[in-house]
Amino acid sequence: MHNISITDLDREKNIQIIDVREKYEYDNGSITNINIPMGEILKSTDRIDKLKKVVVFCQTGRRASAVAHILRTKYNFKNIVNLTGGYQAYLNYKLN
């Protein structure tokens, strides 16, 4: 499974969540205190937990999906999943 829904994320325990949006997007609100923008994440793999499930997200899920794919295929991270719908899905979930 390479994706996780916001409802499934809400039930997860002991995970790491990484916001891969740009700092100005992150500064407008996030669901985590870890921000590693897409352009910096490949230089920051030491900050990614290798033992926990790691959920990456962006605004809509497109950038994070690409990040997750690269981390899985080129860097051999088997624990990376993308948050389907990204931060927008989170906001919609919290509003309902």
As a whole number of angstroms, the distance between CA 48 and CA 79 comes to: 10
In this prediction the pTM is: 0.95
pLDDT of residue 36: 98
How far apart, in whole angstroms, are the C-alpha atoms of residue 71 and residue 77?
A: 6
The CATH classification number of 3-95 equals 3.40.250.10
In this predicted structure, what is the pLDDT of residue 96? 78
pLDDT at residue 88, as a whole number: 96
Cβ atoms within 10 Å of 29's Cβ, excluding its own? 10
Give the mean pLDDT of 18-24. 98
pLDDT 10s digits, 31-44: 999 999 999 999 99
Per-residue pLDDT band for 53 (boundaries 50, 70, 90) equals very high
Residue 17 contacts residue 55 (beta carbons within 8 Å): yes
Chain position carrying tokens 């690269």 = 70
Side chain identity at 39, as an amino acid letter?
G
Beta bridge partners of 55: 17, 81
Residue 1 has pLDDT above 80, yes or no: no
